[in-house]
Amino acid sequence: MSQTSKQDVSELIRKARAGDAACRDGLFALCRSYLGVVAQAQIETWLRAKVDASDVVQQTMLEAHRDFARFDGASEKEWLGWLRGILKHNLADFVRHYRGTAKRQTRREVRWRDPAASTLAPGAPEPAAPGATPSQEVARMDNELRVAAALAELPDDYREVIALRNFQRLPFSEVAQQMNRSRPAAQMLWMRALKRLEQTLDEDVSP
């Protein structure tokens, strides 16, 4: 997995804006995994049965391609913020649609959680041990793309348990129910997933 710097993204933005089609494609490809992580973090449990994160990402990518000329930033931070804004709008559309067709879900509205905020906010059930875990690095602006790429390399069940526990902040009892496992098994899976994520991140920075 190659490491991408802010300068790389800024250069891709500059060249894409100048008409370089390959750089434009590369810029979007670079951020697909990131958008997938963000989308999975935003979709609450009740909506996951109705909305697939990949569908939200695909819609966001299509709209970003269409409206690329409207993006006036130049940095990685500005680029990712612009993409998150489109994603947020699309998720809100899904919520409005399903709230309109399922009134019983009105009070269970999807809340937007900015990846720049802590994934384990005060009051979250069963918080993880103090200190940043590898999965919390996705909340740090400097590492968003790198951590998202590392998450994309994990097995599906590892990504799911991290999304449920660290992004959706569910207690292990609910994580276990969602994954059809016992509570101890869900906790063990979560610990293995974080260890694998840490190893993947370490490999990324190895010379």
Domains of the chain: which residue ranges?
1-110, 153-207
How far is Cα 194 from Cα 158, in angstroms, rounded to an integer?
8
At residue 163, the pLDDT reads 82
At residue 46, the pLDDT reads 58
Q: Is the pTM of this model over 0.85?
A: no
Q: Which two tokens stand for residue 157?
A: 């069940």
At residue 92, the pLDDT reads 84
Residue whose token pair is 């920075």: 205
In angstroms, what is the C-alpha Rg of the chain? 18
At residue 118, the pLDDT reads 36
For residue 100, pLDDT over 90 is answered with no
Range ranked top by mean pLDDT from 29-33, 93-97, 98-102, 203-207: 29-33
- Asked if 55 and 36 count as a contact pair (C-beta separation under 8 A), the reply is no
Q: Which of left, alpha, beta for 51 (phi over 0: left; psi -120 to 50: alpha)?
A: beta
What values do phi and psi take at 180, rounded to 5? Answer: 60, 45
Higher-pLDDT residue of 191, 160: 191
What value does the mean pLDDT take over residues 84-93? 89
Mean pLDDT score across all residues of the chain? 76
- Residue 105's H or E segment, with its range, is none
How far is Cα 160 from Cα 156, in angstroms, rounded to an integer?
6
- Asked if 75 and 10 count as a contact pair (C-beta separation under 8 A), the reply is yes
Residue 17's SS3 state is: helix
Q: Which two tokens stand for residue 16?
A: 């894409």
What value does the mean pLDDT take over residues 70-86? 92
Does the domain made of 153-207 have the CATH classification 1.10.3470? Answer: no
How far is Cα 150 from Cα 200, in angstroms, rounded to an integer?
6
At residue 48, the pLDDT reads 65
At residue 71, the pLDDT reads 95
CATH topology of domain 1-110: Rna Polymerase Sigma Factor; Chain: A (1.10.1740)
Cβ-count burial 80-89 (b if 16+ within 10 Å, e if not): bebbbebbbe
At residue 144, the pLDDT reads 75
What value does the mean pLDDT take over residues 145-170? 84
What value does the mean pLDDT take over residues 170-193? 93
What value does the mean pLDDT take over residues 82-104? 78
For residue 111, pLDDT over 70 is answered with no
Q: Which two tokens stand for residue 141?
A: 């602006």
Residue 60's SS3 state is: helix
* Band of residue 49 on the pLDDT scale cut at 50, 70, 90: low
Q: Nearest 5°: CA angle at 46, between 129 and 159? A: 45
How far is Cα 117 from Cα 53, in angstroms, rounded to an integer?
20
For residue 136, pLDDT over 80 is answered with no
Higher-pLDDT residue of 135, 182: 182
